[in-house]
Structure 1
Amino acid sequence: MTITSGRVLVAGATGGTGRRVVDLLRAADGDVVVRAMTRDADSESSLRERGADEVVVGDVLTPDDAARAVDAVDAVVCTLGSSPGIGTLTSDFADGEGTKNLVDAAAAAGVDHFVLVSSLGVGDSAPGMQLGLRLLFRGLGVLPAKARAEAHLRESGVTYTILRPGGLTNADATGDVVVGEGGDTVSGSIPRADVAGLCVASLFTPAAADRTFEVVARRGLRGTPEGVVDIDWQTAPAAARPDPGTEAVEESESAD
């Protein structure tokens, strides 16, 4: 991809982070083609109204649907997430097996770059999530599913960027994030809008290739960060700039 052209699949496009990724890609100058994937046929019209050029209706838990979604795309931004609940104990995870299906399809299709939104609390970033929530999400199987998806992506041969955000909020983007690398690095919260901005910037930032980052907003930082890295992120679209008048509302410690 280049900063002005390419076809990007947004998987999880109806979620809180995925919607913002669609917005940012649509706001970008140039000829970026935005393909959104949803398993809900009723969401197709709203995704098109939001700016998606193409909509694929399918379920990532079905390998054929995943293959259809990645056909002819240059990059994938995967923001799939599972809502914690009793159902997660007895069913496959969109952000586990579903993401693995999407990775396999991307590898087979020769996709250039795969950006995965994971979560603090996964793998060696476990200390970044508060203990009570970590035990809950681990017990429900959400964190292990995300860990398997991360490992599968790293082993796939596809160029990747993995983002592990802290607690997600619906505040406007701050434009000021703390990026750690190495697992036990940062803790805190971050607006979905900031995560979306990093997803888009990762596509055009060579220094982000084949790396895993833990990310929180500076104003949502808890404790003293370790392993902080300075990444020269390529400029995100104007829609990602902060609106200081909006208050943060924390909803979840798990990416959606």
Structure 2
Amino acid sequence: MTPTDIDAVLVAGATGGTGKEALRRAGPRVDTVRALTRSPGATADLRAAGADEVVVDDLLDPTDLGAAVDGVDAVISAVGSARSAVRTGPPFVDGAGNRALLEAAVEAGVDAFVMESAIGVGPEPASPLASAFDAFIGPLQEAKGEAEAAIRDAPIRHTILRPGVLTNGRRTGLVTTAEPGEKLWGSVSRADVAWLMTAAPTTEGAANRTFEVVSTPPFPDRGVDVNWTLPR
């Protein structure tokens, strides 16, 4: 996929912090930005954030995900559960929801799927922060891992980002993206993660790869050199 190949993108989890940032990043660069939300009352807010179209559906109880992904070139999935969801138990949108969206995307012939995961997901060596994530939100981490595995097995170009502690605020552009197992720890803004997610479908070096992502502290010696390129 080249920087001119994206005509339409679907942002799932669009009412969340990363999702809204992805709408803002994609809006000026992609002809059609579609937002997916389970909240009917969020339509006006999502349009103000940059969505051209809004689809209301619940990834854990979908009615027509085919309509949500129809005609899009890339899916950006920023869906995720609150920590409190651990107490209520599965299914979690992090796992079952992402897998349902992935299945619909593959069936519709979508070119690329981008997922926001989390540091500590997967079997690679973990930093103390990643181990803490696993200890406190283990069921959510496991659900994300199941979704990651499904994405890697699916016949679709993919990029999976595993950010550290997510913060609000402006994009810094000072981000370390590293291979899994580099034991990154620290924080990163949702705006920085959304920028990378928006760029992933049109970045050659991001195809079919998984990255740990932090900005503070920086780890320049552990990062990989990827020429991230936004759609245009």
TM-score (norm 1): 0.83
Q: Is the 8 A contact 2:113 2:157 kept in 1?
A: yes
Q: Equivalent residue for 1:232?
A: 227
**Structure 1 unaligned spans of 5+:** 238-256
Give how far 1:227 is off.
4.4
- Distance 1:215-1:86 versus aligned 2 partners, 3 A rule: closer
> Superposition RMSD on alpha carbons, in Å?
2.1
For residue 169 of structure 1, what is the amino acid of its counterpart?
T
CA deviation string 1:59-97 (max 9, x = no partner): 112344322211111100000000011565433111110
Q: Distance in 2 between matches of 1:81 and 1:204?
A: 24
Q: Equivalent residue for 1:13?
A: 14
* Structural mapping, 1:155-170, within 5 Å: 155-170=153-168
Q: Equivalent residue for 2:60?
A: 61
Q: Distance in 2 between matches of 1:236 and 1:173?
A: 17
- Distance 1:88-1:11 versus aligned 2 partners, 3 A rule: farther
Pick the aligned partner of 1:195 from 183, 193, 197: 193
**Structure 2 unaligned spans of 5+:** none
CA deviation string 1:189-209 (max 9, x = no partner): 100010011011112101110
Q: Equivalent residue for 2:134?
A: 134
Per the alignment, in what secondary structure is the counterpart of residue 108 of structure 1? helix
Taking only the aligned residue pairs, the percentage that are identical comes to 43
Per the alignment, in what secondary structure is the counterpart of residue 124 of structure 1? coil
| Between 73-82 and 120-129, the greater mean CA deviation after superposition | 120-129
- Distance 1:109-1:26 versus aligned 2 partners, 3 A rule: same
Give how far 1:125 is off.
4.8
The count of residues paired between Structure 1 and Structure 2 equals 230
CA deviation string 1:90-149 (max 9, x = no partner): 3311111000000111111110000101000101356235243430111xx110000000
For residue 122 of structure 1, what is the amino acid of its counterpart?
V
Q: Equivalent residue for 1:204?
A: 202
- Distance 1:143-1:96 versus aligned 2 partners, 3 A rule: same
Q: Is the 8 A contact 2:113 2:158 kept in 1?
A: yes
Give how far 1:41 is off.
0.2
For residue 156 of structure 2, what is the amino acid of its counterpart?
V
Q: Is the 8 A contact 2:14 2:36 kept in 1?
A: yes
For residue 198 of structure 1, what is the amino acid of its counterpart?
L
